[in-house]
Amino acid sequence: MPIEAWLIFLLIFMILGSIAALEIKDILSSIIAVGVVGLGVSLAFLFLQAPDLAIVQFLFEIFALIILVRAFVKKDYHQEEPSKINKILIGVTLITLTAIFILSISVFRALPQFGQPLMHIADHYLNQGILETGSANLVTSIILDYRAYDTLGEVTVLFTAILGSLTILRIKSRDRQKGGVTT
């Protein structure tokens, strides 16, 4: 079977899984459905010849699932029913999104065809990469030698986000006893 048939099957599976994740009322089932969507993305990366990305996507998605399940699965969790004005809002949103999708078909027709990318800079990386950097993994040579400055920025963003979440989770609020002052 050609690659495009596998990808269409995986994408339809992921769309059904994401619709199920939004509409199910039980919170553990919807978190698992989002996990299934992430696994489908990892399989699609394997079909598209990117093994680096498949490993990283799979592991990071499992970690996101661990954090979500630990924080939100509890006994007294219930959802509210949508009121009448909310139903009107859902209808308007659906019509707007369908209109956006129909108007964007002509935009997607102008993209290059699937399977023939325009590789202007990538030719230089593929031909000269191993001579200039000495590493056999070309994706690693791009992120750690040709564009190492972007990796420095990414490490900074990850550090800041984790630092922020650690600070928020560890505030011992004293405003219940003293009346207004927290550190």
Partner 1 sequence: MKSKDGMTLIVKTMTRLILWMIFLYGAYIILHGHLTPGGGFGGGVVLALAFLSILLAYGRSFTLKWLNMHFLEEFEASSILLFLIVGILGILAGGVFLINFIDHGSVFHLLSAGTIPLLNIIIGIKVGVSLFLVVYALSELKLEKGEDL
Partner 2 sequence: MTVYLLCFVLFLVGLYGVLTKRDLVKIILSLSIMAYAANLFLILFAYKDGAIYPILSKGTESAVMVDPLPQALVLTSIVIELGTTALLVAIVVRLFQKYKTFDITKIRRLSG
The C-alpha angle 35, 93, 18, rounded to 5 degrees, equals 15
Neighbours of 17 (CB within 10 A): 18
128 sits near partner 1 (criterion: CB under 8 A): no
Q: Which residues contact 62 (CB under 8 A, 6 or more apart)?
A: 35
**Beta carbon of residue 142, minimum distance to partner 2 (angstroms, whole number):** 4
Q: Identify the CA nearest to 16 among candidates 34, 42, 1.
A: 34
Which of 12, 94, 144, 157: binder of partner 1 (CB under 8 A)?
Answer: 144
Q: Is 41 in the site for partner 1 (CB under 8 A)?
A: no
Using a 10 angstrom Cβ sphere, with 0-12 exposed, 13-18 middle and 19 or more buried, the burial of residue 129 is buried
Q: What is the DSSP letter of 145?
A: I
102 binds partner 2 (CB under 8 A): no
Binding to partner 1 (CB under 8 A): which residues in 42-71? 51-52, 55-56, 59-60, 63, 66-67, 70-71
Smallest gap, in angstroms, from Cβ of residue 154 to partner 2? 5
57 binds partner 2 (CB under 8 A): yes
Among 84, 109, 172, 178, binds partner 2 (CB under 8 A): 109
Residue 122 parent element (H or E) = helix 122-133
Kindly state whether residue 31 participates in binding partner 1, applying the rule CB under 8 A: no
Q: Does 28 bind partner 1 (CB under 8 A)?
A: no
